[in-house]
């Protein structure tokens, strides 16, 4: 992707080229980076993150397929899918982010462009990535919305109008039309109607007797007595030493569940120590920081007479994935940490996604139960880009690995309806695991308890996306699964879990993995010879003695 670290896929949409607004003959979706940079310069770093970045692919007949990418690494949801409390928080944040654009809207260089960018195609264009509001399909209007000023106002009322601060309006280039933002107004009270006297129906009006009200004198002594008592109390209260005024009690500050500042300090200190030791020769490195030399972790004693898992059994599949899959920890600037998954494809080589380690240095860390600790891994090779349709791969290499680590075979023998299993470390699930939380906070003492998450599904389709072939499947994946293996029932990696697409209209989520075919090409181009198996997977019970087993 271009700048701003827009590497996280949000959604895919379809549009018509004629519906995309243009300023000075240039489409808003072409070469967005200078506009984003100017917004950040005028409004503060990160202000442009309100607008996701389009990756546009032209189709026949002026149709466009647009993949939207953002800077926030979380699942994207439509506003109507949020609960009431979260929707209110995201709505408030959206108004604040639009308010922050005022300097850009007033700028002679990009003011007209930013005002046009505030037009969105429909309600679904506004999404929440975590609790961050993000606009997709911005800078475009359906034809009916630009047919008249009234139609323009109605369209904005249904889309972004409810979130607009006072005095800020989307604009159509070349049109003077504006819509009013939310403005405070005084509540109006209807004047009370004077009650008219009425006469009872059916009876003649009676003569009204007039009485002259005689003014009533009020004796002054009760008022004087009350005033005297009040004055006496006031003098007593004011006399020094009679009353003490305690300091107002402050409500107790709720204890934070997580001290983020302390966590960041621990992470920074831990990363600094690790980098300092990695720069030393192996014989001079402090083992108390890096840990002991990699050796085989102790294996639990097998039950007497218990045979190993049968080839093709679920137990054998789980064992092979556990032995190969790793948690990837990539330190980024600003004390941030990118997490993902990866898996061994050789004795020292690990395959993951480029977007997992993008922005990190030359060294990241990998951890798993099979490794027994967090191990530094060198970023040996990365794909040229990590956008949709590109081979989003990265190759990591560790200096050594214990014998408990087993590389996965790669297989291209996969088809629709075949059973698949996704393995990895999705943060949404792993955040409830204490061992995972400790590792994220820099404590790897309990790493022997780290267990990955596995989900099952079937292959739905295998479309060709640009230069890569992808596998659409129903094994659930989410943030943190990126780079992990998609395995067949025989424990062979048939894909690399990479991204998801949320379909708001059909309330459906699709999971995508890059195919093993493209992974093999990437590894071969970088000098890694991998073990492949192209026979169809036969998941069957252990055969009788003397008969061949299923393909492995």
Residues near 104 by beta carbon (within 8 Å), at least 6 away in sequence? 38, 39, 42, 43, 47, 110, 111, 114
Q: Which of 198-207, 314-323, 533-542 has the highest mean pLDDT?
A: 314-323
Q: Exposure of 514 by Cβ count < 10 A (0-12 exposed, 13-18 middle, 19+ buried)?
A: buried
Task: Please state, for a pLDDT cut of 70, what percent of the chain lies above it.
Answer: 72
Name which of 31-35, 300-304, 353-357 the model is least confident about. Answer: 300-304
Per-residue pLDDT tens digits for 425-469: 998 888 888 889 888 888 888 888 899 999 999 999 988 766 788
Residue 253's pLDDT is 45
The position carrying tokens 């139960």 is: 369
d(CA 439, CA 451): 12
Residue 132 — pLDDT band, cuts 50, 70, 90? Answer: very high
Name which of 123-137, 275-289, 461-475 the model is least confident about. Answer: 275-289
The number of residues in the chain equals 552
Name which of 104-108, 158-162, 438-442, 457-461 the model is least confident about. Answer: 438-442
Which of these, 158, 169, 184, lies nearest to 79 by C-alpha position?
158
Strand 53-58 relative to strand 132-135, pairing: unpaired
Integer angstrom CA distances of residue 216 from 118, 213, 220, 442: 70, 9, 12, 85
Residue 533 has pLDDT above 80, yes or no: yes
Rounded to an integer, the average pLDDT of 499-509 is 75
d(CA 392, CA 6): 14
Integer angstrom CA distances of residue 365 from 126, 143, 322: 36, 51, 17
d(CA 154, CA 145): 8
Q: Which of 230-234, 500-504, 544-548 has the highest mean pLDDT?
A: 500-504
Residue 207 — pLDDT band, cuts 50, 70, 90? Answer: very low
Query: Model's pTM, two decimal places?
Result: 0.48
Rounded to an integer, the average pLDDT of 119-131 is 94
Rounded to an integer, the average pLDDT of 2-11 is 74
Mean pLDDT, the chain, rounded, equals: 79
């Amino acid at each position: 992707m271009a700048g701003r670290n827009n590497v996280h896929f949000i959604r895919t949409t379809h549009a018509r080229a004629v519906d995309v607004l243009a300023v000075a003959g240039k489409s808003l979706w072409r070469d967005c980076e200078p506009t984003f940079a100017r917004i950040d310069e005028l409004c503060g770093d990160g202000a442009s993150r309100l607008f996701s970045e389009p990756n546009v692919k032209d189709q026949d007949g002026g149709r466009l397929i647009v993949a939207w990418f953002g800077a926030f690494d979380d699942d994207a949801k439509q506003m109507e899918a949020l609960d009431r409390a979260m929707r209110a928080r995201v709505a408030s944040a959206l108004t604040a982010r639009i308010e922050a654009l005022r300097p850009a809207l007033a700028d002679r260089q990009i003011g007209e462009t930013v005002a046009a960018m505030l037009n969105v195609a429909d309600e679904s264009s506004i999404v929440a990535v975590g609790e961050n509001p993000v606009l997709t399909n911005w800078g475009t209007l359906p034809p009916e919305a630009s047919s008249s000023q009234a139609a323009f106002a109605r369209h904005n009322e249904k889309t972004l109008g409810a979130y607009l601060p006072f005095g800020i309006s989307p604009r159509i280039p070349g049109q003077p039309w504006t819509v009013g933002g939310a403005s405070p107004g005084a509540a109006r009270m209807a004047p009370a109607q004077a009650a008219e006297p009425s006469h009872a129906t059916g009876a003649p009006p009676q003569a009204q007797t007039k009485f002259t009200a005689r003014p009533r004198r009020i004796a002054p002594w009760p008022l004087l007595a009350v005033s005297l008592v009040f004055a006496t109390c006031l003098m007593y209260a004011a006399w020094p030493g009679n009353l003490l005024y305690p300091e107002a009690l402050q409500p107790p500050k709720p204890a934070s569940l997580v001290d983020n500042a302390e966590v960041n300090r621990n992470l920074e200190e831990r990363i600094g120590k690790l980098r300092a030791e990695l720069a030393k020769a192996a014989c001079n490195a402090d083992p108390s920081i890096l840990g002991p030399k990699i050796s085989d972790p102790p294996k639990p004693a097998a039950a007497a007479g218990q045979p190993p898992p049968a080839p093709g059994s679920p137990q054998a599949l789980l064992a092979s994935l556990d032995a190969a899959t790793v948690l990837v920890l990539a330190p980024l600037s600003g004390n941030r940490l990118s997490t993902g998954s990866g898996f061994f494809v050789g004795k020292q080589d690990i395959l993951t996604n480029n977007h997992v380690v993008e922005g990190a240095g030359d060294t990241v860390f990998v951890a798993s139960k099979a490794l027994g600790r967090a191990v530094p891994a060198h970023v040996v090779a990365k794909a040229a880009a990590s956008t949709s349709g590109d081979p989003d791969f990265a190759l990591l290499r560790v200096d050594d690995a214990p014998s408990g680590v087993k590389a996965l075979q790669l297989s291209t023998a996969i088809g629709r309806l075949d059973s698949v299993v996704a393995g990895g470390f999705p943060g949404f699930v792993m955040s409830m695991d204490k061992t995972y939380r400790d590792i994220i906070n820099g404590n790897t003492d309990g790493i022997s308890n780290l267990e990955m998450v596995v989900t099952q599904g079937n292959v739905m389709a295998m479309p060709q996306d640009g230069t890569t072939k992808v596998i659409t499947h129903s094994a659930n994946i989410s943030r943190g699964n990126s780079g992990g293996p998609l395995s067949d029932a025989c424990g062979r990696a048939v894909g690399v879990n990479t991204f998801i697409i949320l379909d708001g209209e059909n309330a459906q989520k699709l999971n995508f993995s890059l195919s093993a075919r493209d992974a093999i090409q990437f590894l071969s181009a970088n000098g890694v010879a991998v073990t492949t198996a192209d026979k169809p997977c036969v998941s069957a019970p252990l055969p009788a003695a003397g008969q061949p087993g299923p393909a492995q």
